[in-house]
Amino acid sequence: MKNEVNIWLENIYEFLKKELSLLEVEMKNRLSSVTNNKIDLHNVFNYFFDIRGKRLRPILVLLSAGLVRSINSKGLVEKNTQIENEIQLAAALELIHNSSLIHDDIVDESSHRREQITMNHKFNNKIAVLVGDLIYSHAFLIMNDLKFPRISGILSECVEKMCQSEINEIISPYADFEQYIAYLDAKTAKLMSTCCKCGAIISGANETMISALGEFGTNFGITYQLIDDYLDDEQPQKFDVNLLLQAKIYSGKAKKNLENLEDNEHKKHLMNLIRYVMDKQNLKLKSYQDHCI
């Protein structure tokens, strides 16, 4: 599913062009500062950047932060330090996301991700687990520099929940619909919700906005994972669930979460992010049609 960028996502990349290119520079600088003479990590990090994803978590941070900033600073000139903080936060969350995937590939013994060989297969489990740890701890170093204790707390809680849920899933896999949704929440939506919530906090949002954006991230994340499971043919076997219908329900909830927030360009693109995810379902139809031709 390498070329799955659609028009909604293209528009978001264009809208956040400046911030996303600064994010790439920031992440490269950050990780090159971690390499040292004793261990040649250049190869490993170069590979890490080769298997980059769609940067959805940074997009959630930047759109949520921008949405609040636009509301709070009407007519005022944007402060550079504010944007810099947003980029640092986006970098930290992308690094946490990537470390979770590196660890997940070790746990799942996966050989491929994003159509490329995983870290554990390219190098080995020992290198992969330690690189995952290294990237993860660097994310917390960034958070420490940002000096937002509330954000650091939310991030730690988020990772704790992700780890607990992965352990639970190994010991006693989900058996009903409620447990399935709770698993999707912990595995995917919790981090997405954290991106939105922390993006809002860093822009000085009030509690109503923080909670609306946090809820949006949860419902968006569950929608995202339902569609992903649908596309990967990961239909739960133990109970009956219509993945597309559920995705529609959760995407409706996500739209509703944004309803009471003032309209602006950032909000428009958050709404379009839901469209991007819901449109992904057509990929399956398209691949089926291509197959039939």
Binding-site ranges for Mg ion (CB under 5 A):
104, 108
Query: Least separation, in Å, of the C-beta of 178 and ligand FPP?
Result: 18
Residues 6+ apart with CB under 8 A from 24: none
What are 70-73's contacts with CB under 8 Å, separation 24+? 70/264, 70/265, 70/266, 71/209, 71/261, 71/262, 71/264, 72/203, 72/204, 72/205
Alpha carbons 7 and 217: distance in angstroms, whole number: 21
Q: Nearer Cβ to ligand FPP, position 225 or 257?
A: 225
Q: Which pair of tokens denotes residue 109?
A: 């013994």
Alpha carbons 257 and 196: distance in angstroms, whole number: 12
CB-CB contact of 196 with 269 (8 Å): no
Q: Nearer Cβ to ligand FPP, position 21 or 164?
A: 164
Q: How many residues bind ligand FPP (CB under 6 A)?
A: 16
187 near ligand FPP, rule: CB under 6 A: yes
Report the residue from 96, 198, 243, 258 that binds ligand FPP according to the rule CB under 6 A.
96
Which stretch, 11-19, 53-61, 121-129, 155-163, contacts ligand FPP (CB under 6 A)?
A: 155-163
Report the residue from 92, 95, 159, 213 that binds ligand FPP according to the rule CB under 6 A.
159
Report the residue from 13, 28, 104, 204 that binds ligand FPP according to the rule CB under 6 A.
104
Alpha carbons 279 and 227: distance in angstroms, whole number: 9
Which stretch, 10-18, 160-168, 192-200, 248-256, contacts ligand FPP (CB under 6 A)?
A: 160-168
250 near ligand FPP, rule: CB under 6 A: no
Q: What does the per-residue mask of binding to ligand FPP show for 198-237, with x meaning CB under 6 A?
A: ----------------------------------------
Give CA 250 to chain center in angstroms: 17
108 near ligand FPP, rule: CB under 6 A: yes
**165-184 residues near ligand FPP, rule: CB under 6 A:** 166
Alpha carbons 268 and 292: distance in angstroms, whole number: 37
Helix (H, G, I), strand (E, B), or coil: what is residue 117?
strand
> Which chain residues interact with ligand FPP by CB under 6 A?
96, 99-100, 103-104, 107-108, 110, 132, 136, 159, 162-163, 166, 187-188
